Amino acid sequence: MNKVNCKSIKFIVFLLIIILLFPQYIKAEEKVYDLVIKGGTIFNPSTDHELSGYNLGIKGEKIVRITKEDISGMEEIDAKGLVVSPGFIDLISYDPNSVGIELKVLDGVTSNLAMHGGTEDAEQWYRGWSNAGVLTNFGASSFVTRLRWPIVGQGVDEEITKEEDIDRLVDGVRKNIEAGALGISFSFEYIPGIKNEIIPLLNLAHELNVPTFYHLRYSDAEKGLEGIQEVIDYGKKTGAIIHIMHINSTGGTFHMEEALKMVNKAREEGLDITACVYPYDFWATYIDSARFRPGWQDRFKITYEDLQIGGTDIRITKETFDKYRKQHLLVAAHGSLPEEELIMALKDPNIMIGSDTIIEPSGNNHPRGSGTYSRLFGRYVREKKVLSTMDAIKKVSYLPAKRMESSAPQMRYKGRIEVGADADITIFDPNTIIDRSTVKEPTTPSTGVEYVIINGVIVKNKDGIVEGVNPGKPIRSYFVDKIPEEEPIPFNIQVDGGDKKPLDFVYNIDGYIYLPIDEFFKYISMPLEDMGDGNINIGKILNINIGDKKATLGEKDIILDKEPIIYKSNTYINSKDIDKILEGEYKVVIQDDGLELEYIGNISKKKDTFVYNEGANVVDKIGKKPYVGAYSFSFVVIALTLIFFKDDKHHNQEDKQDN
């Protein structure tokens, strides 16, 4: 009787183990992603797709899946009702100090680039910030102002006249870029003595294919357009890439329409030129700078009383002006920028956003260091309806990334939500996002940014900044960051025995050949309509969806082997699925380097539904076969069964001996 009870107890234990293990197996199998963002509306500016209700799978530092399928991760974010955007890239910022960088994150920034200013020693700069640890990604330009100091001192009007000194400066900038600096930055208005070295430095920029950034020489109504023409002429003469910083406060003020026409005309003529703005109607700078040389009231159409010391409620007067000039304080100039000109610039599709500030621990700053990006979405997208959400997202992510791609390889993978892109993501509530910082209180954080993810790590959640994480990486020039770009593979298409023709931008992704959907269907004269919401209609009879294996061909359902994906600023389909979607119309021969298509017409009746094996040969993007867990679970069950019956056999032998 005791032995029977023992067997029963063991069997019950055996069943309990199975019951306990099975859910754990299921749980482990489901959570194949490190982080999943569920149910939000994904805005991808590289393809103009607005994908509502999709799920985003992240593995490590990369986005690996954009899907309609319900997926699970080790961490999950419920993004229902929220905008899922590429992380904001602040192109015009400064050093990522610990106070200012948290306010940047709370404003949605994932990459902080010190392209206004920067460093004279890139090697030391990157090493220092890397050792300190930074919340966001970070990078810097080669700052001409400081590189001039050892040559002519710090006098702002001093000119470099000797050829050997110019050569020395050019050599210093070259070495700085080779050490990681991302471009060359000039501050003409603050350092009027910068003249003779400009063309040699821009020749260097053209040689190295790095962008040059400008605070223009003039900011007033009388000569502002001269400043724009100056850099356009430099660009045409040297072929260098030109970026005008905050064109609303230097160059374009009081005549924005003419300024934009000049920039766009130069672009149409072949010059690589861009510009940015910050979304405020007043500028700020240091009261002891060259900007406040005599006559500033007339130049900028402001008075003493329009000046307010950042971080205080103190207004300047004629009597206190000289006093505060001696204290090197930053002042905001109220009413200095017409808002209608800002709106004009925001509507230009080529204008991007840069804050031109990071908040310092002193708090003596312009509020744009805390509120630039939330203000754009809250005031100019939601309230004033100047921009669509997609257009605003382009200006804060994709356009800055594209601007920096020539010098910074990492930027090819930022500013977009695609398979293979960096998992730098900002999630915000479009109904509540807004800036709250003011001149008096510039350190007041924005609201409405719910989550910020940098290199796959959540750095900001609904409770605020996540403590103890610093996932930011240095963004350096291609001389240092040797990041290979995925190259397209040679691929051709042959239709009805004709000549083989090349199909461009075909990629091998984890052993599968993916074809650009739009380019492929041009070959067989099937019109394509991308609805922008994930639906793609082809030839009026075929419908496929990004991130969905289910497709429809007329009244038939087709189950694809692989989901169509967003990749490299386009939509792609697995080459093996071409045979399925063209079945009955074309005979398809698939090879590693091409496709052969032979038109056969609809000559036979087909099944209403096509269902193919979805799992047998599928390897997930993260490299894990889908049934490994099932095998492991089976091994556990078999092992436990053998142990149980082995023990049972032993007891049977004991019974025989007793008998």
Sort residue 466 into left (φ over 0), alpha (ψ -120 to 50) or beta: beta
| 184, containing H or E segment | strand 184-187
Whether the pLDDT of residue 6 is over 80: the answer is no
- State the pLDDT at residue 584: 80
In a domain, 112, yes or no: yes
Tell me, what's the pLDDT at 273? 98
CATH classification of the domain holding 584: 3.30.457.10
Q: Tens digit of pLDDT for each residue in 188-227?
A: 999 999 999 999 999 999 999 999 999 999 998 889 999 9
Q: Estimate to the nearest angstrom the gap between the alpha carbon of 637 and the chain centroid.
A: 46
Q: Is residue 101 domain-shared with residue 55, that is, in the same domain?
A: no
- Is 498's pLDDT higher than 70? yes
Q: Let me know if residue 318 belongs to a domain.
A: no
What does the H/E/C string look like for 299-366? HHCCCHHHEEECCCCCECCCCCHHHHHCCCCEEEECCCCCHHHHHHHHHCCCEEECCCCCCCCCCCCC
Model pLDDT, residue 11? 54
Domain shared by 497 and 563, yes or no: yes
| Mean pLDDT, rounded, for 353-382 | 98
More confidently predicted of 5 and 385:
385
Q: Which H/E stretch holds residue 29?
A: helix 2-30
Q: Can you give the residue range of the structural domain that contains 573?
A: 492-610
| 558 and 410 co-located in one domain | no
The whole-number pLDDT of residue 420 equals 97
- Distance CA(185)–CA(216), nearest Å, equals 11
Same domain, 231 and 206: yes
For the segment 563-574, the average pLDDT, to the nearest whole number, is 98
pTM: 0.87
What are 529-557's pLDDT values in tens digits?
Answer: 999 999 999 988 899 999 999 999 888 89
pLDDT at 608: 33
The answer to whether residue 297 is domain-embedded is: no
Q: What is the mean pLDDT of residues 463-489?
A: 96
pLDDT exceeds 90 at position 15? no
Res 654: pLDDT: 44
**Res 408 pLDDT > 90:** yes
604 with 654, same domain: the answer is no
What is residue 172's three-state secondary structure?
helix
Give per-residue pLDDT as tens, 318-348: 999 999 999 999 999 999 999 999 999 999 9
Statement: residue 436 has pLDDT above 90: yes
Residues 261 and 361 in one domain: yes
Residue 412 belongs to some domain of the structure: yes
Strand order from edge to edge, sheet including 307-309: 283-286, 330-333, 307-309
Computed over every residue of the chain, the mean pLDDT equals: 89
pLDDT at 657 over 70: no
Report whether pLDDT(612) > 50: no
Report residue 638: phi and psi, to 5°: -60, -45
Domain count, the chain: 3
Residue 331 lies in a domain: no
CA-CA distance, 335 to 302, in Å (whole number)?
Answer: 7
Q: What size, in residues, is the chain?
A: 659
Q: What is the mean pLDDT of residues 33-51?
A: 98
Strands in 401-495 per DSSP E: 425-428, 449-454, 457-461, 464-465, 492-495
pLDDT at 620: 33
Do both 93 and 125 map to the same domain?
A: yes
Quick: pLDDT tens for 265-297.
999 999 999 999 999 999 999 999 999 999 999
Looking at the structure, tell me whether residues 214 and 356 fall in a common domain: yes
Is the pLDDT reported for residue 646 higher than 90?
no
- Statement: residue 513 has pLDDT above 60: yes
pLDDT at 628: 39
CA separation for the pair 514, 517 (Å, rounded): 9
pLDDT at 653: 45
Q: Tell me, yes or no, whether 442 and 548 share the same domain.
A: no
Q: Which residue has the higher pLDDT, 404 or 623?
A: 404
Same domain? 602 vs 637: no
CATH code assigned at 205: 3.20.20.140
The dihedral sign for the CA sequence 637, 643, 644, 645 = positive
Q: What is the CA radius of gyration of the chain?
A: 30
Residue 305, in any domain of the structure: no
| CB 296 within 8 Å of CB 304 | no
Domain assignment present for residue 420? The answer is: yes
User: What is the C-alpha separation between 105 and 87, in angstroms, rounded?
Assistant: 10
In a domain, 315, yes or no: no
Strand order across the 512-516 sheet:
507-509, 512-516, 570-574, 565-567
- How many angstroms separate the CA atoms of 436 and 103, rounded? 11
The torsion angles phi and psi of 403, rounded to 5 degrees, stand at -60, -35
Q: Are residues 111 and 179 in the same domain?
A: yes
Residues 651 and 606 in one domain: no
